[in-house]
Amino acid sequence: MIPVKGYEGQKVAVLGLGRSGLAAAHALEAGGADALCWDDSAEARDRAEGQALILHDLSKPSAWQDVAALIVSPGIPHLYPEPNKIIAAAMEAGVPVDNDIGLFFRSFADEDWDSFDVSPKVVAITGSNGKSTTSALIHHVLQQSGRPTQLAGNIGRGVLDIDRAHDGEVVVLELSSYQTDLARALTPDVAVFTNLSRDHLDRHGGMGGYFAAKRRLFAEGGPDRAVIGVDEAEGVYLAGQLSEGPSDDRVIRISVDRKLSGPGWQVFARKGFLSEYRKGRQVGSIDLRKIKGLPGTHNHQNACAAYAVCRTLGLAPKQIETAFHAFKGLPHRSQLVGERDGVAFVNDSKATNVDSARAALSAFKNIRWIAGGLGKDGGIESLTADDLSGVTKAYLIGHSAREFALRLGDVPHEICETMGQAVARAAEDAQSGDTVLLAPAAASFDQYPDFEKRGEDFTRLVASVLSGN
């Protein structure tokens, strides 16, 4: 646990008692604060009471007397589409609003660091797609290279629930826009921007607000090094804002769209080959085509980002390449579930928007595509004929099944409604060389509590198919 600094002897309110909220409350108590906890859910309040935390009804007008700060869980809106009433009341009372990420950055360093030979570092990764894989890949490479490391944030453990730092340790944080948007302190040593696509627009009031939330990771604390995906205009803009000139190697540009050139530091992947250039010269390369845990262009972008970070941390290209080959991938992200008679079954339940689904579709051929769920703004309207060229047939499920069907043009498709029916029909139709791919391009909430449960259901159903049951 990371004890929170700066609130000793003060009352700090905590709104939202999920994983991050409970960890924040305990970390505040460990730092000498009085955590006053609240959640609209009676079940969550009971859980907090069971952990000896103090409940404090933050909906009452008198709730803010002598309260030094309000710590908010990431899922609770503070501005768009409209502020949560409790957060609005705190702001009206002049109470500062923060989250666990802000508390972490103000509290991570401690007096033990004076005796360390190598100061710990924090690597923070944000972006629309690829955050989890990039974070896990960096963590994996560091582990394989013998470097002490912890993985936290939107993946792994809550940021305040990790262990206190060791000499030379690297903490790898995956940060969503919900987390970067509100944190009052953001000071990573290395910050990564993978890419940007339309997502969470209601929460941020549009694309401008969404990008602004991501940009805060770079603008608030000024990382020593920034790894920026420049395949979208926003990434090009961000890299330009951070750089002092073409040869400024504090900014590492990455791409999977084109070869990058110039006197600075670049990492890019083309036709399955990753290349690193510095001062106009190639200094490293990796053939990504044979790395089973990183299939497709979208994973090659993740590899470029992870490679660039590991190079800034002093690892050699060969060390990174060896570790890449040992990476098995993450559940629900282009995860190979199994194979039978030349048919592969791949779980990419994390593909909850059209851009991540497009990336998954580009990674395979002869696809039996399982898609649908609770469609987001625009559905799959932006998918082109080229995007769908590898789809042999689509099997559509959930709330948006019929809406998706209208957008598929000449692509053969079938309304299956449920995951069970879709897996059964796709497996029945599949021939050797086909890939049965779950890449929903939609949220899961019409049929499942989250994308993990959706992916687990797919995996269970595939296991039954593979066993012949």
Type and span of the H or E element at 311: helix 296-312
Contact 266, 276 (CB under 8 A): yes
CA dist., res. 218 & res. 290, Å (int): 34
258 Cβ contact partners less than 8 Å away, ≥ 6 residues apart: 268, 270
End-to-end CA distance of the chain: 45
Centre a 10 Å sphere on the Cβ of residue 63 and count the other Cβ atoms it contains. Answer: 19
Q: Which long-range contacts (CB under 8 A, 24 or more apart) does 109-117 make?
A: 109/165, 110/164, 110/165, 112/164, 112/165, 113/165, 116/167, 116/168, 117/167, 117/168
* Residue 225 token pair: 């090094």
Known binder of ligand: residue 372?
no
d(CA 92, CA 447): 38
Does residue 84 have a known ligand-binding role?
no
Question: Is 129 marked within a binding site?
Answer: yes
Task: Determine whether the annotation assigns residue 134 to a binding site.
Answer: no
420 assigned ligand-binding residue: no
Task: Count Cβ atoms below 10 Å from residue 36 Cβ, excluding itself.
Answer: 23
Dihedral sign from CA coordinates of 392, 395, 400, 405: positive
Q: Is 133 annotated as a binding residue?
A: yes
Residue 248 CA to residue 251 CA, distance in Å, equals: 6
Angle (deg, nearest 10), helices 296-312 and 354-362: 100
Closest CA to 187 of 100, 118, 122, 98: 122
User: Which tokens is 19 given?
Assistant: 């994983």
Q: Is 366 annotated as a binding residue?
A: no
The whole-angstrom separation of Cα 366 and Cα 388 is: 10
Q: Tokens for 261, please give them.
A: 């050139």
Annotated binding site: 127-133
Annotated binding site for ATP: 127-133
